[in-house]
Amino acid sequence: MVIAAESTELFVGPRTALLQVVRLSSPLLTGPVHAHVSGPGLRSPRHGGSLAHGPFGYELGVDVSEHPPGAVVPAQVVVRSSAGEETCAFSLVVGSPGWTVHLVGHVAADAPFAALRAHLDLALTDRAYRFAVTSVELLQPYWDTFPEHRSLLLRLVAEGRVEVVGAESTVVGVQPVLSSLPAGLPLRGSLAEASRAVYSSFLRLRAGAAAPHVMLPVGDAREAPDPLVMAIHHDWSARYTWPRVVCSLPRDYYVRGSVPVPRAAADDSPAAVFASHASRLTGAAFPVAALSRAAVAHPREAFDLQSEVVSRSLRALTSTVESSVVVWNPAASACTDIVSVHLPYARNVHVESDGVVLPTLVDGVTVTFLARDVPARGWRTYSLVEDDVDHGWKRGYGTEIASTHYVLSYDPIASLVAVDGPMLEAPRLVGPISVWHSEVGEKMVGSTTVVLWNGVGHLGPSALVGVLGSRSPSCGTLPSVASRLTLAGPALGPASPEVTPVFARYWLHEPAPLGGLPANVRLEVLGPALLRVVVVSDGEAFSGVVRLSLPPGWSASWDSMPVSVPAGGHVSAEVRLVAPRTPGCHPVRAVLEGLPFEVYDVALLGVPEWDGDDPVEVLWVASTPSSVSVRPGSSALVRIVVASGAHGDLPVQARLLSPRPTWELVGPFCVGGLLPAQGRLPLDFTFEAPPWATPGRWSAVVRVTAGPLVRTTAPITLEVAD
């Protein structure tokens, strides 16, 4: 018989007389098993009952109270079973009692509503269950859809059985401890297997713990809670004294465990840095709404929002500095990098700093130079001076370019490029190629363009931002309190959606609208001719009006209703409809007025003899350009046409999805309009290449939404031609 003995971090028995668990395993152990452990200062019962078989094997309690935690004690175990008696020597590592493992069930922001409901049901079934909602982005849509569950959720929050993690919530009115939550441990297999997985995670996590507590999120955050969570909670407590394994909230771990709460990550994007400085300097309000939305929005929308904040902030900041060019550094350390500014028209100029002429590249209307040692989160100013010198690109020879950091060589036989320099991935370049020289750097042009700038040790975009200003060079950090302007500046970012009305069930397509949605409206279909209109408040008390927009031929028991909703409450009213005999899809809209923008919900009602299998589409893309081409300095429309077979108007929003290099060329990201009943609607985007644009070709699509309906166009080729 082969016996294996191993000490664990498990303890059993009363806290005043703890026994450390030694696990025994053997493929041959059968029937009742008896064992005892001996060794210096170790005691276990010699004539106790048969051992219990737990999640970790046969488990024997040993008194180790004469030794401190961490001590290594030579030990021997004697095991008796129906297979005979066996002796095994092993090293017993004395464990550390007093630890707690906080199992945290959680449901994520993009989980289906059914997942959140399942967590609520488990909390109602088992009072020991607690869970975290990792964002109000899930909670607000859920409450807008099921306002009758609000009191239940608020009660569970008040009882400490539900916690909201993330940004501060006006919905629940609590201050979250955490801004985020790690991914959960999947619980698979049997209860014993899941218990062993929790124990393994405990051993791993406790190594870096600052207190005898570890937090272990469990389960898939987008699905219903795993029943093993509560099975472990109850079974472990019945078996072991330490470590405690309990279902908890993040708050329990950080507050009761005296564990330091990690600081929320600060937004150190250029947009946030520039806006913070502009806000303090000019008195303009910090663009909380724009940057909060950018943190969760589609990457293209986030880019547009941050670009707008940067543009407005730099405009406000630069207005306080007299100079031809102001170079701003959003980083937390001084920076030397290349800077480009675009002139309104072509000029022969060079750049000067404190009277010193700097190497300058003038490429059309673009002026490029190296800005050295721009202070951390500060600025440096430069002058543009007229001259009659050619500072442009000059054609060179050969197949090699160089800078102060790198040498790039092109081999026409291999076609692959070699770069002589550290930590630089060779760019993909296919010939024929040409090389060009300037005062600021050199470039190689082939299937793409690669530029090596003097004084710059990277190929990526510059960290510095150059802005045209007025005159007089200087250098400094951001102005002190004594020199701040007293007048409030312009708004530093948008505060509400540019395309309205907003679809009430926005979460089907995107995060919460810019500026949030303090009130919402919902249409429930109770029958072919009966609807319920529900208005909810997700913040303070709300007063407004609900108006019904009916398709031609329809009538309703009412078409306008004033509403007054208490803070966090909801009101509802039924509306009876009389339908025409025209078969087809008839959209009925409820529009909520009283917010800074209108919000609508839509019910797509079918009049017999029409159903979803009817060949007439409710929404489709009628026209899409196969390609749109512009030259640098010109623009063109990207027009798509959508059509509807519905017997009523539909608000439409369209988003142009394209690769990153096109984001500054084509926009806006989102356009909207009202698609007339059984009609068509053109939706236009502008594709505009500035004079300094680099030729290229990309593929894009437009995604169209009308209430719950979604359609996507065929690919559109966008080209900036030579």
pLDDT in tens, 96-124: 999 999 999 999 877 889 999 999 999 99
Q: Is the pLDDT confidence value at 180 over 80?
A: no
Residues 6 or more apart in contact with residue 622 via CB below 8 angstroms: 641, 642, 643, 680
Mean pLDDT for the chain overall = 89
Q: Is there a contact between 291 and 493 (Cβ–Cβ < 8 Å)?
A: yes
Rounded to an integer, the average pLDDT of 295-316 is 92
Higher pLDDT, 528 or 12: 12
What is the model's pLDDT at position 531? 97
In what helix (H) or strand (E) does residue 307 lie, and over which residues does it extend? helix 299-318
**600-612 per-position pLDDT tens digit:** 999 999 887 655 5
Q: Kindly state the percentage of the chain with pLDDT values over 90.
A: 63
Q: Is the pLDDT of residue 710 over 60?
A: yes
> 195 in helix, strand or coil?
helix
CA distances from 666 to 304, 516, 687 (A): 11, 27, 4
Least confident piece of the model among 48-57, 84-93, 561-570, 663-672:
48-57
* Residues contacting residue 578 through CB under 8 Å, at least 6 positions apart: 529, 554, 555, 556
| Rounded distance between C-alpha atoms, residue 121 and residue 524, angstroms | 23
Residue 533 has pLDDT above 80, yes or no: yes
Cβ-based neighbours of 598, under 8 Å, separated by 6 or more = 500, 501, 502, 591, 592
Strands (E), 226-320: 244-247
Average pLDDT over residues 629-643: 97
Output the CA torsion sign for 194, 195, 196, 199: positive
Q: Angle CA(308)–CA(309)–CA(312) in degrees, nearest 5?
A: 85
CA distance linking residue 55 with residue 40, whole number of Å: 28
Model pLDDT for residues 47-72, shown as the tens digit of each residue = 667 888 889 989 999 999 999 999 99
CB atoms within 10 A of CB 347: 12
Cα 612 from Cα 448, distance rounded (Å): 49
Give CA–CA dist 357/360, Å, rounded: 9
Q: Residue 494: its pLDDT value, please? A: 92
Could you tell me which residue, 282 or 233, shows the higher pLDDT? 233
Residue 475, pLDDT score: 40
| 174-178, 330-334, 357-361, 434-438: range with lowest mean pLDDT | 174-178
Widest Cα–Cα separation across the chain: 105
**658/662 Cα distance (integer angstroms):** 7
Which tokens go with 457?
A: 């040790």
In a 13 Å sphere around the CA of 539, the CA atoms on its Cβ side amount to 13
Query: Is 60 exceeded by the pLDDT of residue 619?
Result: yes
- DSSP 3-state assignment of 200? helix
Question: Taking 90 as the threshold, does the pLDDT of residue 505 lie above it?
Answer: yes
SS3 678: coil
613, 617, 621, 622: CA torsion to nearest 10: 120
Average pLDDT over residues 703-709: 97
Q: How far apart are CA 644 and CA 659, in angstroms?
A: 29
Per-residue pLDDT at 616: 65
- Model confidence band, residue 488 (pLDDT cutoffs 50, 70, 90): very low
Residue 207 CB contacts under 8 Å (≥ 6 apart), including other chains = none
List the beta bridge partners of residue 648.
none
Report the 3 state secondary structure along 489-527: CCCCCCCCCCCCCEECCHHHCCCCCCCCCCEEEEEEEEE
Please state, in angstroms and rounded to a whole number, the distance separating the CA atoms of residues 365 and 692: 7
Q: What is the pLDDT of residues 125-160, one digit of tens each?
A: 999 999 999 877 778 888 889 998 988 988 998 898
Average pLDDT over residues 80-107: 92
Q: What is the pLDDT of residue 476?
A: 43
Residues in Cβ contact with 24 at an 8 Å cutoff, skipping those fewer than 6 apart:
3, 4, 5, 33, 35, 51, 57, 58, 59, 60, 77, 79
Counting runs of H as helices and runs of E as strands, what totals does the chain give?
A: 9, 47
Per-residue pLDDT band for 478 (boundaries 50, 70, 90) equals very low
| pLDDT of the residue at 477 | 44
Alpha-carbon gap, residue 113 to 110, rounded angstroms: 9
> What is the average pLDDT across 551-574?
95
Asked if residues 112 and 137 have their Cβ atoms less than 8 Å apart, the reply is no
Token representation of residue 579: 């339908």
Alpha helices in 319-402 (DSSP H): none
Angle, nearest 10°, between helix axes 228-239 and 191-206? 80
Is the per-residue pLDDT at 409 higher than 70? yes
Residue 635, φ and ψ in degrees, nearest 5: -145, 165
Q: Which positions ≥6 away from 317 have C-beta within 8 Å?
A: 274, 277, 278, 281, 282, 326, 328, 379
Digit-coded pLDDT (tens) for 411-446: 887 687 666 767 566 667 887 899 999 999 999 998
**Rounded mean pLDDT of 152-178?**
77
**Could you tell me if 55 and 97 are in contact, meaning their C-beta atoms sit under 8 angstroms apart?**
no
Sequence-ordered list of residues with C-beta below 8 angstroms from that of 667, at least 6 positions apart, any chain = 304, 656, 685, 686
CB neighbour burial string for 221-230, b if at least 16 within 10 angstroms, e if fewer: bebbbbebbb
Q: Is 482 a residue whose pLDDT tops 70?
A: no
Burial class (CB in 10 A: 0-12, 13-18, 19+), 460: exposed
Q: Which of 510, 570, 561, 147 is nearest to 302 (CA)?
A: 510
| H/E stretch holding 120 | helix 113-125
The whole-angstrom separation of Cα 553 and Cα 578 is 9
Residue 664: both structure tokens together: 């500054």
- Note the pLDDT of residue 81: 83
* C-alpha span between 478 and 485 (Å, rounded): 12
Q: Are 539 and 555 in contact (CB under 8 A)?
A: no
Question: In angstroms, rounded to a whole number, what is the distance separating the alpha carbons of residues 342 and 311?
Answer: 14
